[in-house]
Amino acid sequence: MENIPEQNQKKNNTGYTKYILVWFALIILTGLTVSLAGMDLGRITVATALLIASIKSSLVLSVFMHLKSEQKAFKVFVLVALFFIVVSFVLLFSDYSSY
Amino acid sequence: MISAPENTAAVNIHRDDIGTRMGIWLFLFTELLLFGGMFFIYSIYRFLHQNEFHLAALELNVIVGTFNTAILLTSSLTIALSIAAIQNDNKKLSVILQIMTLVLGAAFLVNKYFEWMTKINHGIYPGSDLLLSRKPGEILFFGLYYVMTGLHGLHVIIGMVLIAVMLRLTVLNKIDSNNFVRLEAAGLYWHLVDIIWIFLFPLFYLIT
Amino acid sequence: MRARKMNNVNYNKDVSYLEYKGKYSGLPGWIFSTDHKRIGILYLVTMLSFFAVGVSFGFMIRLKLLFPGNAIISPQTYNSFFTLHGVIMIFLFIIPGLPAVFGNFFLPIMIGAKDVAFPRINLLSWWLFLTGGLLAITSILLPGGPADTGWTFYIPYSVRTGTNVIFTMFAAFVLGFSSILTGINFVTTIHRLRAPGMGWFKMPLFPWSLYATGWIQILATPIIGITLLLVIIERLFRVGIFDPSLGGDPILYQHLFWIYSHPAVYIMILPAMGVISEIIPVFSGRTIFGYRFIAYSSLAIAFFGSLVWAHHMFTAGMSNTGQFIFSLLTFLVAIPSAVKVFNWVATLYKGSIRVEPPLMYALAFIFLFSIGGLTGLMQGALSVNIQIHATSFIVGHFHYVMFGGTGFGMFAALHYWFPKMFGKMYNIKRAKTAFWFLLIGFNLLYFPMLIMGWLGMPRRYYSYLPEFQPFHVASTIGSWILITGLIILFANLIIALRKGKIVTEKNIWGGETLEWQTATPPIVENFEEIPVVESGFYEYKQNNIQLVEEDINK
């Protein structure tokens, strides 16, 4: 196939290691979140669980989903979507958490 | 991927892998928000019924949940590796990894099936008399449990269908090292399904 | 002439999109076409059909409301009529509206592309639209009768009523998908397919508005998707999500419903504002004032508009904190809209105005949208809201913005782009006559609603106190004048399609965007060669547009 733009060309010698390392990290973080669940962390229980889940998700996003190597626009997109979710949630919650 | 001229107005099909990936990412946002709406509902009800959610969560099996989490995380690895493999022109490895992804996905669904059946056999399912006789917070918890894990399971099935299609295309050499954006697309979808579970798992199983 | 002939089909790229014959001819050549221009026309035809149905329901509602007591139709039928009127007008007409018709037709051309990023997904969008529409219409005919919940489907009535709520909600769900796919398509198209040299700030304002709209379509629509799905599941399986008898919170439903449905109104209005931004400069003979401000204001409206939804719920049982926050945000969202209005007026100032139908509708837009917007601000004030929530005042307000705004924006777009799309010209005098019927009828129909709503007339009520009757009578007469205007408008355009004067000139209005540099009607791939843009925005005409081809003037 002629005229394949640069972006579509194959890249030989793509490494497998980084994926496996990320996988290890994800498994460890899963173990961490399970063991923390057994402890009573009081008020920060939910926040901790969400924090660990967020770290896992950002690993999946940046390495498995190649967000790290994509154009800047993609990263901005993800931030916009996350921002919308977070802000909507905060506003929604404000109605329930106050009088 | 160039189809016969008579199918299109443009004789040269415009190929833009970045554009394709962009479209997929935007679509993934819609899936994220679809589940996001349900996470919103979960959060509000959990805030309003903290104890009842806690009690209800005790009835879920943490071991099965953790196991399923590990299965899905590993399946994310295998599909990511399968893309790397095809980039390296290693068709055989890519095919094996895609098959492994499907197997892991199936294992996830089997576990889910057994989890659900256990609950249903104990009389806890939407609309059941037993469930409706419980406190509101517990009814809400299990309602959300079934709907959210059910919809998630549906997306696992959809993801598996997509990967199966890509598997066939890879075997037929229609996906190769010069043309693998469709495999990437299926992979992206699968990773999103994984991310949703990454959040579902602690919120339903680990709030004890 | 670059023609390739194969099996008696003509792949001549230079033929107009209307005459092109590909693998299919006749009707299949249209309903299976991936050409964005044909898809735009498909949307136009199906949308106007649904619009006619929606207008009929509106007509019947107004007919009933001539009389305070029992008359014309039963209360049950009345409830279904205003539900269907809302569902059809909102989901089948105004939301798809400008993006689906004029966005599809002109976005690629205005940015110098051959088509959208995903032409086949584009066709799928239309098929989903058609399916959703047919589902909604079918719900009328099934046993149980059409939904009577109002288009808002509030809990708990929507899980209690025996009417075909599931069908109607599912129709809305399918239509949501159609909208999402269009949004994805347009955002990607604008990022990836702009012609060489067309940076973001050389892009015309209509594409800018479509970009902002696309983001709202992508991010907000799934929320109503899941909400509707959950109510359907709750009806079917008694799950316990919103139903208060099962522990659920009806207010939570309202929150989720409006998290989409408020941004939805910005899906409706932003493209219309984009059209106005295109028309005003052309008919003032001046460049638009404050181009960047208008571009940024589209993004700002999309942003702020996502944060104000609970102003629909001030009297529902919200916390005081919530009310305060949302009222404040509601006032903020008016600012970028005002920026646009000021810039349009500044563009007109000292321009050489040509009073043609597109401009007349654009000016009416500014007037009617301003009334709608100002009444919206009034509603955003908490103390006022208590008085006027769920009254005719609200009905008047949203018709001023949705119909006076987006509706007239569509009429403006139709009269502006009709010659380019079809290569035919309509009768100007008749178009102007229709305009006056529409403007007068519109105000007579909706202004009384503002007054009687203020005086206490509730919305969605079948019967009312005798003191409101004069207002209702005036309003109904207004509806007849308005409908007459609609008939004249569309009859004029249909006559033009058949025997209107043929137009081959590329640029009959003197526009400065790329669609006025293409053939009339456009050829299949829009351009002989993709243009390379070297001038600033809206300067194409002055700089004799740098198209990379030998012969522009055929």
End-to-end CA distance of chain C: 11
Per DSSP, what are the bridge partners of residue C501? C425
| Residue A6 banded pLDDT, cuts 50, 70, 90 | low
> Interface partners of B (3+ CB pairs, < 8 Å)?
A, C
Q: Would you state the pLDDT for residue C551?
A: 33
Q: Which chain B residues contact residue C117 at CB under 8 A?
A: 16, 19, 22-23
* Residues C370-429: tens digit of each pLDDT: 999 999 999 999 999 999 999 999 999 999 999 999 999 999 999 999 999 999 999 999
Q: Which chain A residues contact residue C328 at CB under 8 A?
A: none
* Residues C267-281: tens digit of each pLDDT: 999 999 999 999 999
Q: How many whole angstroms separate alpha carbon C377 and alpha carbon C335?
A: 11
Percent residues over pLDDT 70 in chain C:
94
| Residue C29 banded pLDDT, cuts 50, 70, 90 | confident
Tell which wins on pLDDT, C532 or C323: C323
Q: Which residue of C has its CA nearest to B38?
A: C226
Q: Would A83 be classed as within a structural domain?
A: yes
Site of tokens 């500044």: C346
> Is residue C546 over pLDDT 90?
no
Mean pLDDT comparison of C21-30, C452-461, C528-537, highest-scoring range? C452-461
Which of A72, A94, A95 should one mutate to test binding to chain C, selecting the residue with the greatest count of C CBs within 10 A? A95
DSSP annotation of A61: I
CA distances from C368 to A34, B98, C99, C398, C438 (A): 59, 58, 21, 11, 12
Q: Which chain A residues contact residue C325 at CB under 8 A?
A: 91, 94
- Kindly state whether A95 is in contact with chain C, defined as any CB-CB distance less than 8 angstroms: yes
Q: How many whole angstroms separate alpha carbon C314 and alpha carbon C316?
A: 6
Question: Looking at the partner chain, which of A4, A9, A74 has a beta carbon nearest the beta carbon of B25?
Answer: A74
* Residues C35-94: tens digit of each pLDDT: 999 999 999 999 999 999 999 999 999 999 999 999 999 999 999 999 999 999 999 999
Q: Which residue of A has its CA nearest to B24?
A: A74
Helix (H) or strand (E) run with residue C424 in it: strand C424-425
Domain match, A85 and A59 both: no
Tell me if A24 sits within 8 A of B33, measured CB to CB: no
Question: Looking at the partner chain, which of B36, B81, B177 has a beta carbon nearest the beta carbon of A85?
Answer: B36
* Residues B152-194: tens digit of each pLDDT: 999 999 999 999 999 999 999 999 999 999 999 999 999 999 9
Interchain pair C22, B9: CB under 8 A: yes
CA distances from C435 to B56, C361, C420, C487 (A): 63, 7, 21, 11
Q: Count the helices and strands in chain B (H runs, E runs).
A: 7, 0
Q: Which chain B residues contact residue C259 at CB under 8 A?
A: 37
> Is residue C544 over pLDDT 50?
no
Q: How many whole angstroms separate alpha carbon B82 and alpha carbon B98?
A: 6
3-state SS, C13-38, equals CCCECCCCECCCCHHHHHHCCCCHHH
Mark which residues 42-71 of A lie under 8 Å from B by CB: 45-46, 49-50, 52-53, 56-57, 60-61, 63-66, 70-71
Q: Which chain C residues contact residue B37 at CB under 8 A?
A: 222-223, 225-227, 256, 259
Q: Which residue of A has its CA nearest to C302?
A: A84
Tell me if C14 sits within 8 A of C528, measured CB to CB: yes
Domain match, A95 and A61 both: no
| Residue C11 banded pLDDT, cuts 50, 70, 90 | low
> Is residue C181 over pLDDT 60?
yes
Domain match, A77 and A58 both: no
| Residue C215 banded pLDDT, cuts 50, 70, 90 | very high
Which of B54, B73, B174 should one mutate to test binding to chain A, selecting the residue with the greatest count of A CBs within 10 A? B73
- Kindly state whether C322 is in contact with chain A, defined as any CB-CB distance less than 8 angstroms: yes
| Residue A7 banded pLDDT, cuts 50, 70, 90 | low
Domain match, A36 and A50 both: yes
Write down the domain spans for chain C: 7-517
C522: helix, strand or coil: coil
Is the four-CA dihedral C130, C132, C137, C141 of positive or negative sign? positive
Is the omega angle on the peptide bond into residue C250 within 30 degrees of 0, that is, cis? no
Domain match, A60 and A75 both: no
Is the four-CA dihedral C65, C70, C71, C73 of positive or negative sign? positive
Pick from B68, B69, B77, B70: nearest CA to B98 = B77
Residue C334 CB partners (closer than 8 Å, separation 6+): C373, C376, C377
Range of the domain at A60: 14-65
The distance of C219 to chain A (nearest Cα, Å) reads 7
Is the omega angle on the peptide bond into residue C521 within 30 degrees of 0, that is, cis? yes
Interchain pair B206, A78: CB under 8 A: no
Tell which wins on pLDDT, B171 or C543: B171
Here the tokens at position A35 are 């063991």
Q: Report chain B (208 residues): mean pLDDT per 10 consecutive residues.
A: 32 75 97 96 93 91 94 97 94 96 97 94 89 91 95 97 97 93 96 96 87
Tell me if C148 sits within 8 A of C57, measured CB to CB: no
Percent residues over pLDDT 90 in chain C:
81
Here the tokens at position C5 are 């002939």
| Residue C543 banded pLDDT, cuts 50, 70, 90 | very low
Q: Which chain A residues contact residue C307 at CB under 8 A?
A: 87-88, 91
pLDDT, average across residues A10-38 = 88
Q: Which CATH class is domain B21-205?
A: mainly alpha
Superfamily of domain C7-517: Cytochrome c oxidase-like, subunit I domain (1.20.210.10)
Pick from C54, C60, C112: nearest CA to C86 = C54
Q: How many domains does chain A have?
A: 2
> Is residue C286 over pLDDT 90?
no
Is the four-CA dihedral C292, C294, C295, C300 of positive or negative sign? positive
Q: Would you state the pLDDT for residue A43?
A: 75
> Is residue C9 over pLDDT 70?
no
Angle formed at CA C103 by CA C98 and CA C108, multiple of 5 degrees: 170
Question: Looking at the partner chain, which of C219, C306, C318 has a beta carbon nearest the beta carbon of A95?
Answer: C318
Q: Which chain A residues contact residue C318 at CB under 8 A?
A: 95
Domain match, A28 and A59 both: yes
Q: Which residue of A has its CA nearest to C308?
A: A91
Residue C409 has φ and ψ, to the nearest 5°, of: -60, -40
Q: Would you state the pLDDT for residue B83?
A: 96
Least confident of B115-129, C179-193, C415-429, C464-478: B115-129
Q: How many whole angstroms separate alpha carbon B146 and alpha carbon C230?
A: 12
> Is residue C220 over pLDDT 60?
yes
> Is residue C6 over pLDDT 60?
no
| Residue C21 banded pLDDT, cuts 50, 70, 90 | confident
Is the four-CA dihedral C379, C383, C386, C392 of positive or negative sign? negative
Q: How many whole angstroms separate alpha carbon C111 and alpha carbon B207?
A: 52
Interchain pair B127, C238: CB under 8 A: yes
